[in-house]
Amino acid sequence: MSATPVPPALPGRYAEVYADSLADPETFWLAAARAVDWETAPSRAFDAEAGSYGRWFPDARLNACHNAIDRHVAAGRGGQAAIIHDSPVTGTKRRITYAELQEEVATLAAVLSDLGVGKGDRVVLYMPMVPEALVGMFACARLGAVHSVVFGGFAANELAVRIEDASPKVVLAASCGVEPSRVVAYKPLLDAAIEASEHKPDSCLILQRPQCEASLVAGRDRDWAETVQAARAAGRRAECVTVAATDPLYILYTSGTTGKPKGVVRDTGGYLVALAWSMANLYDVAPGEVYFCASDIGWVVGHSYIVYAPLVHGCTTVLYEGKPVGTPDAGAFWRVASEHGVACLFTAPTALRAIKKEDPRGERVAGYDLSRFRTLFLAGERADPDSVAWAERTLERPVIDHWWQTETGWAISGNPVGLGQLPVKHGSACVPMPGYDVRVLDEGGRPLGPDIMGTIAIRLPLPPGCLPTLWGSEERMRRSYLTTFPGYYDTSDAGIRDADGYVTVLGRTDDIINVAGHRLSTGGMEAVLASHPDVAECAVIGIRDALKGEAPCGFVVLKAQVERDPAEIERELVALVRKRIGPVAAFKLALTVPRLPKTRSGKILRGTMKRIADHEPWTMPPTIDDAGALDEIGESLRARGIGT
C-alpha cells in the first residue's frame, strides 16, 4: 500500500492540520474530543480491533442530548434561541430558547419512557419540518434510545420497509405535511405502513396539525399535545441517560443497490466530535451565531446540520418549512438570512439552480440586509460551475462546494474556511477533511496519478462520525463498502484528484442516482416498473437535468401479448412509481421500447444509454448483443426531445 500523500503547499493552516490528522490520529482526535462533554472522558481515541474497521472512543461515555442542550443551559445560556422555526407555508414563526427546548425534550422523553422506550430501543419519526420533530429526536437521545427519521415524502410501502427493519417500539408522526400548494396527509400513509409491516409498534404519538387532523386508532395512537400536557401537569421529566460513545445514536436509511434500503448506523461519541470540529473549522461559525441549513430532517444533511451540529456547538439553528422559490418567491432564503441574522447558509445546488432560474439577475437579493451573512455552502450533488459563479457574483460571498455521503455523516472534502479559506476551483469539492485519506484507484485497487479518473476510495480507518456498521447487517456493511478494495472504504463515486490535492466527483459508479440532492436507487424504481402486469423488462437511468442534477427515466419492454396504448401504460408507470416510492423520486418519464440494449452475457448497457441521453460521445460497445437496440433507445429519446 502506498504512503499517505503529503498535502501540497496551500494557504492557511489546512495542510498542517490535515497532515497531523493522518500522521497521529490518536493525538488529533483526542484533542478534538475536548469540545464535547463526557461522563467518562476517552483515554484513547481508537480501537483498531473492534467492528468492521475499528471504533472511535471505545472507553468513553456521554449523552448527545446533554451536549446539544443541557450543558448550554447549565452554562447560563438558556435564554439564547436554540431553534428558529420559520414556516412560510403555514405563515408562522417561533423562537425556542435552549431552556424552553430542555423542558420540552425532558417532558417528551418522560412520555416515551412511560410508553416503554428505554436505552437501545428504536423510535421511528415520520414528521415534517416542525420543532416537535427535533424535540422527538432529542428526547430519544436523552433516553439513549435510537431514532430513525423517515422523510415525509416517502410512500407507505417505503415507510413499512423501514418499520420492519428498525422494529420501533414507538412511532412519532404528524397528521400532515404542508406544501406550498397542497396538504399531504401523513396518518393514512402511516396506518397503511403499519398494516403492511410484520412488526407492529406498541404506540404511536400523533401531532395534530390544524391543516389536517387525523383519526386515531384506539389503543395504539395517542394525541401528542394532550399526552405531553398531562405529563407536564404531573411534573414528569426525564434526565439524560449516559451511553457508550460507541452506542448508536440513530439509524438513517439510504438507498441500496438491491432496492432494499441500508440502515446506516451513527455512533454517538465520534459523531459529536466530528460535528463539533466541523462547525468551527469547516464552516467557521462561532457559538451564539445563527446557522441555516436549508435541508430536511429526513436526510443526513438535516440530521447533522439542522439538528445536532449547530446545537452541540451552541449556535441557533433555523428550521425552515418552505421552498427556495414559491414561498413566496426566489428571495425566500435571503429573507430568512436577513430577518434572522444568518451567518452561514448550507443548501443544495438544486435549490440554487431553482433560485437562479426564477431570478437570473439576482434582483431579489437587493432588498435584504445580508451584513451578517458570510458564506454559502453547497452539497447534495455536484455544484455546476455556472451556478456557483452566478451565486458568487450575486451574493458577493464565498460559495463553497463540499462532498459527503449519508454514510460519512459529515464532509469528506470541502474548503475549511475556519482554517483559512483555500482558492475555489469551480466544479471541485476542494480538499479532504482531517482523517479522510482519499485516494483515486483503478479497477485493481492501484492508486492513480493526478487528474486520472477512477473510483474514489478512503483508506481505512474512516474518521470519527462515519458509519461503524449497517443496522443488523455487519456482513452487508463489509460487502457494500469494504471488500471491493481491501483496506479501503469504497465511496462508489468516480472522480479525480488534481496536483493540489483537490477532489472532483464526476458521478456514481453504481445504480444510485442523485435527484435534487436525494440519493435514490434506480434498482428500486426498476422493481416498481417490473411489477406492472404489462411490463416484461425494464431499465432506469439518471438523465442529466439542469435543475435537479439528475432525473430518472425508465425504459420498459412490454409483454408480447399486450395490445393496449403504450402511452396509457407509460402514464400508469409514472403514477405507480410515485405511489410506491413517493413524489421525492421525481419520476416523470417512462418510455416503451421494443428491446433493451444488452451485452451477450445479458447485462443491460445502462452506461451507454445514459451517455446517449446526456448528449455525450459514445461508441458501440464491442460486447453488444444487438446494435439496433441502441438505435431504438436514441429514437425514443429524440421523440421526447432528449439526447442526440
| Domain end (from 241, 269, 300) | 241
The enclosing domain of 489 has a CATH number of 2.30.38.10
Q: Is 267 helix (H, G, I), strand (E, B) or coil?
A: strand
Nearest to 378 by CA among 411, 341, 423: 411
Nearest to 433 by CA among 467, 387, 464, 395: 464
The enclosing domain of 136 has a CATH number of 3.40.50.980
Overall average pLDDT of the 150-177 stretch: 92
Q: Note the pLDDT tens digit of each residue in 245-274.
A: 999 999 999 865 455 789 999 999 999 999
Does 528 have pLDDT greater than 80? Answer: yes
Please report whether residue 382 resides in a domain: no
Please report whether residue 170 resides in a domain: yes
Does 280 have pLDDT greater than 90? Answer: yes
Please report whether residue 19 resides in a domain: no
Does 5 have pLDDT greater than 70? Answer: no
Please report whether residue 260 resides in a domain: no
In order, the DSSP letters of 36-100 are S--SB--S-SEETTSTTT-EESTT-EE-HHIIIIIHHIIIIITTSEEEEEEETTTTEEEEEEHHH
Does 168 have pLDDT greater than 90? Answer: yes
Please report whether residue 5 resides in a domain: no
Residues 579 and 604 in one domain: yes
| Domain end (from 241, 272, 291) | 241
Residues 6+ apart with CB under 8 A from 181: none
Percentage above 90 pLDDT, the chain? 72
Percentage above 70 pLDDT, the chain? 94
Please report whether residue 374 resides in a domain: no
Does 536 have pLDDT greater than 90? Answer: no
Residues 492 and 516 in one domain: no
- Residue 637: per-residue pLDDT: 87
Residues 503 and 551 in one domain: no
Does 192 have pLDDT greater than 70? Answer: yes
Residues 107 and 236 in one domain: yes
Higher-scoring residue by pLDDT: 359, 245: 245
Residue 521 to residues 125, 224, 261, 350, 642: CA-CA distances in angstroms?
22, 34, 9, 19, 22
Does 4 have pLDDT greater than 50? Answer: yes
Residues 523 and 460 in one domain: no
Residues 576 and 446 in one domain: no
Task: Kindly report the average pLDDT of the chain as a whole number.
Answer: 92
Please report whether residue 273 resides in a domain: no
pTM: 0.85
Backbone angles phi, psi at 549, to 5 degrees: 90, -65
- Residue 643: per-residue pLDDT: 61
Residues 576 and 592 in one domain: yes
- Residue 518: per-residue pLDDT: 73
Please report whether residue 91 resides in a domain: no
In which band, very low, low, confident or very high, does the pLDDT at 523 lie, cut at 50, 70 and 90? confident
Overall average pLDDT of the 210-230 stretch: 97
Residues 484 and 551 in one domain: no
| Domain end (from 200, 225, 241) | 241
Residue 181 to residues 300, 320, 322: CA-CA distances in angstroms?
26, 17, 11
In which band, very low, low, confident or very high, does the pLDDT at 25 lie, cut at 50, 70 and 90? very high
Overall average pLDDT of the 599-614 stretch: 76
Residues 108 and 228 in one domain: yes
- Residue 1: per-residue pLDDT: 44
Give me the domain span that covers residue 486: 439-467+474-508
Overall average pLDDT of the 493-504 stretch: 92
Residues 6+ apart with CB under 8 A from 561: none
The enclosing domain of 593 has a CATH number of 3.30.300.30
Residues 499 and 525 in one domain: no
- Residue 249: per-residue pLDDT: 98
Residues 485 and 546 in one domain: no
Q: Is 348 helix (H, G, I), strand (E, B) or coil?
A: coil
Q: Note the pLDDT tens digit of each residue in 115-161.
A: 999 999 999 999 999 999 999 999 999 999 999 999 886 789 889 99
Residues 498 and 537 in one domain: no
Domain count, the chain: 3
Overall average pLDDT of the 325-350 stretch: 96
Overall average pLDDT of the 334-360 stretch: 93
Does 209 have pLDDT greater than 80? Answer: yes
Weakest-pLDDT range from 7-21, 560-574, 609-623: 609-623
Q: Note the pLDDT tens digit of each residue in 32-74.
A: 999 999 999 999 999 999 999 999 999 999 999 999 999 999 9
The answer to whether 58 and 299 are in contact (CB under 8 A) is no
- Residue 625: per-residue pLDDT: 61
- Residue 398: per-residue pLDDT: 97
